[in-house]
Chains A and B, each alone.
Chain A
Amino acid sequence: MAKYEKILLANMEQPGYTGSLADYERAGGYQALKKILGKVQPNEVTETVKKSGLRGRGGAGFPTGVKWGFLPKDYRGPIYLCCNADESEPGTFKDRQLMERDPHQMIEGCLIACYAIRAETCYVYIRGEYTLATTILEKALTEARRAGYVGQNVLGSGVNIEVWMHRGAGAYICGEETALLESLEGKRGLPRFKPPFPAVVGLYQKPTVVNNVETLANLPHIINKGPEWFASIGSPPKSTGTRIFCLSGHVKQPGNYEVPMGITLRELIFEHGGGMRSQKPLKAIIPGGASAPFLTPDHLDVKLDFEAVAQAGSMLGSGGVTVMEEGTSMVWAATRLMEFFYHESCGKCSPCREGSAWLVQTMRRILAKRGRADDLDTLTDLCKNIAGRTVCAFGDAEVAPIMSTLQYWRHEYEELIEQAEAANLVQIEMAGAKQ
């Protein structure tokens, strides 16, 4: 198996590394902050990040430095950084490990980003269920505050950067950056329409940058080793650096694997993940979290970078790679994901709100062998009518499992429908959005 240089998981894989401030400093932590604080102009930091080619690790993959560059120039009021730690995409569990095992790496990333965008306040919006990560980060922040990294006049530089933890309370949609801002403002987490983008009108109507945990965690390393170093890793020019892939499903060794972008799915699954868990061959792969369309064994040689996965008809998304073995019902799998999307649709936009309830019922009905011949046309139509017609990308995401399974495994649907009894309606329990 090929060995790659790790960036983000390097510290925590050292024996005895606890993630404490002392451990982190011993491993060279906070050197990047010291290197730039008061010595490098904030806009130069932004240029460095642009040069590194770093793209967002949350799902959309937008170039980080470019995102920062959208902040209004010569603006004098408050600017906010929000660290998006609302990791909720099914199949994704990298941020949890980054936060629980090496909290200071992320905190240093937050501080560097704040410095670069001249934000004096960073809110770490962490999903409510992550109580252990919250506790660990709180403790780390206390250490960092005591050591002068966080708070007023950071390391005597005259720069103020406060970092506050903000716990969510159970809503997938709050990982969408504008829903996150609404939630942070104490409201229901409904996405805002864009434009205006958060960089112009964000938290409290002020310019705001929202960056994912993994994205921010890369920053100290980019500062320390230079953008050229970072840009040389992975699949330049468009997919630079490493990626932590969260491998789950029917593989031998599920887990987080940090590898350079651009290795193939085959390498990830069969070398790093140890291959399939049993004799059953591989049947399907979700390459980028629940929102990413399914791929087939034919796609095993697709490179895991933004462009190649997109070209294959899916997306790199959050890095959650889920593997399914032969024998897994694709209608069942798609229904299970559809249930997730139905449960998490915030209800703002009509197509997604009503469409998710419609889709989930039709899928359950087909799965329960009560499908009808015209169901597949209706499903296809509904999916097309949801995608691209909603405020946020959730609408595109929720149709991905159905659209892609219909594309590759249509016969499974058809078989179920053929088995269907008379087309009487099945009573489907319409559970409330709240249990």
Chain B
Amino acid sequence: MMLREKYQNEIDEILKHYPVRRSAMLPLLNLAQKEEGYISEQAMKEIAAILKLTPPQVYEVVTFYTMLSLKPRGTFHFQVCKSLMCALVGSDDLVEWLKTRLSIKPGETSSDRQFTLSQVECLGSCATGPMMQVNDDYYDRLTEDKVDRILTDLKRDGTCPLKAKAFMCPQAEQKG
């Protein structure tokens, strides 16, 4: 039982937050996804056991939420917002740029398992589009140059300083 071995304290803490065990479903699934990069069958069985549910009861939840994946994804998951607000400011071009840069289409993972490209719906960054989320981080006001820099940094350092900080738009300083 992998999760329990590694995260017993976290799991105990999570369970303490709820009077009904089943509520720990998404917290545990998020934990499993963080741990393995996707939700494995083993993880679903283990979470079912922790929550005293059947594996199908966990499975049906996993398939409902888009952030949870039943398949492994690349090290960097590029999720480009394709909703109208970002599309108005060029997100389709951004996707094209990423397609050529990563040599994969949306929904695909690069053969070296470095990158997965997805088109997703609104991520709440409409004033700063086009934007994308790479794993946990937001990158906004994207241009082709900025994307290239992000790619270079990620490949080299695994992270990039261009990621969005605590959000404020417009910046107070710019005003008035």
Do A's and B's CB atoms come within 8 Å in the complex? yes
- The stretch of A22-30, A63-71, A122-130 in contact with B is A122-130
Pair B166/A188 contact, Cβ less than 8 Å:
no
Complex Cα spacing A162 to B24, Å: 16
Pair A249/B169 contact, Cβ less than 8 Å:
no
Residues in A whose Cβ lies below 8 Å from that of B138: 132
- The stretch of B3-11, B80-88, B93-101 in contact with A is B80-88
Tell me whether A129 and B29 are in contact in the complex, defined as CB-CB below 8 angstroms, given that A170-B67, A171-B64 are known contacts: no
Complex Cα spacing A343 to B81, Å: 13
Most buried by B among A92, A100, A128, A328: A128
Most buried by A among B88, B165, B175: B88
Tell me whether A328 and B88 are in contact in the complex, defined as CB-CB below 8 angstroms, given that A127-B124, A186-B26 are known contacts: yes
Tell me the B154-175 residues at the A interface (CB within 8 Å).
Answer: 164-170, 172-173, 175
CB B116 to nearest CB in A, in angstroms, measures 10
Complex Cα spacing A136 to B169, Å: 17
Interface membership of chain A positions 164-183, coded 1 if the CB is closer than 8 angstroms to chain B and 0 otherwise? 10111111100000000001
Pair A249/B89 contact, Cβ less than 8 Å:
yes
Tell me whether A131 and B19 are in contact in the complex, defined as CB-CB below 8 angstroms, given that A93-B124, A186-B24 are known contacts: no
Complex Cα spacing A87 to B121, Å: 12
CB B135 to nearest CB in A, in angstroms, measures 9
Pair B172/A434 contact, Cβ less than 8 Å:
no
Residues in B whose Cβ lies below 8 Å from that of A322: 84-85, 88, 126
Pair B121/A185 contact, Cβ less than 8 Å:
no
Pair B66/A89 contact, Cβ less than 8 Å:
no
Pair A254/B26 contact, Cβ less than 8 Å:
no
Number of residues in A with C-beta < 8 Å to the partner? 66
Residues in A whose Cβ lies below 8 Å from that of B64: 171, 188-189, 346
Of B124, B165, B175, which one neighbours A87 at CB under 8 angstroms?
B124
Residues in B whose Cβ lies below 8 Å from that of A247: 127
Complex Cα spacing A13 to B82, Å: 30
Complex Cα spacing A336 to B119, Å: 12
Of all chain A residues, the one with the shortest Cβ separation from B30 is: A167
Complex Cα spacing A169 to B25, Å: 11
Of B30, B129, B133, B168, which one neighbours A12 at CB under 8 angstroms?
B168
A96 at the interface (CB under 8 A from B): yes
Residues in A whose Cβ lies below 8 Å from that of B24: 186
Interface membership of chain B positions 95-139, coded 1 if the CB is closer than 8 angstroms to chain A and 0 otherwise? 000000000001100000000001101111111110001001110
Chain B interface size, as a band, is 35 or more
A39 at the interface (CB under 8 A from B): no
Pair B126/A248 contact, Cβ less than 8 Å:
yes
A269 at the interface (CB under 8 A from B): no
Pair A254/B122 contact, Cβ less than 8 Å:
no
Pair B124/A92 contact, Cβ less than 8 Å:
yes
Pair B66/A19 contact, Cβ less than 8 Å:
no
B27 at the interface (CB under 8 A from A): yes
A256 at the interface (CB under 8 A from B): yes
Pair B29/A90 contact, Cβ less than 8 Å:
no
Tell me whether A249 and B88 are in contact in the complex, defined as CB-CB below 8 angstroms, given that A186-B26, A255-B127 are known contacts: yes
Interface membership of chain A positions 316-333, coded 1 if the CB is closer than 8 angstroms to chain B and 0 otherwise? 000010101000100001
Interface membership of chain A positions 206-240, coded 1 if the CB is closer than 8 angstroms to chain B and 0 otherwise? 00000000000000000000000000000000000
Tell me whether A254 and B127 are in contact in the complex, defined as CB-CB below 8 angstroms, given that A90-B83, A169-B26, A434-B66 are known contacts: yes
Tell me whether A171 and B133 are in contact in the complex, defined as CB-CB below 8 angstroms, given that A88-B122, A96-B167, A256-B127 are known contacts: no
Residues in B whose Cβ lies below 8 Å from that of A131: 136-137
Complex Cα spacing A167 to B27, Å: 7
CB B24 to nearest CB in A, in angstroms, measures 7
Tell me whether A97 and B126 are in contact in the complex, defined as CB-CB below 8 angstroms, given that A204-B20, A322-B85 are known contacts: no
Complex Cα spacing A100 to B164, Å: 11
Complex Cα spacing A188 to B61, Å: 5
Tell me whether A183 and B26 are in contact in the complex, defined as CB-CB below 8 angstroms, given that A127-B124, A343-B121 are known contacts: yes
CB B82 to nearest CB in A, in angstroms, measures 8
A253 at the interface (CB under 8 A from B): yes
A406 at the interface (CB under 8 A from B): no
Residues in B whose Cβ lies below 8 Å from that of A166: 17, 23, 26-27
Complex Cα spacing A266 to B118, Å: 36
Residues in A whose Cβ lies below 8 Å from that of B87: 336
CB B81 to nearest CB in A, in angstroms, measures 9
Q: Could you list some 6 contacts between A and B, CB below 8 A?
A: A91-B84, A93-B169, A129-B123, A169-B30, A170-B67, A253-B170
- 4 more A-B contacts (CB under 8 A) besides A89-B122, A170-B66? A90-B84, A93-B169, A186-B20, A254-B126
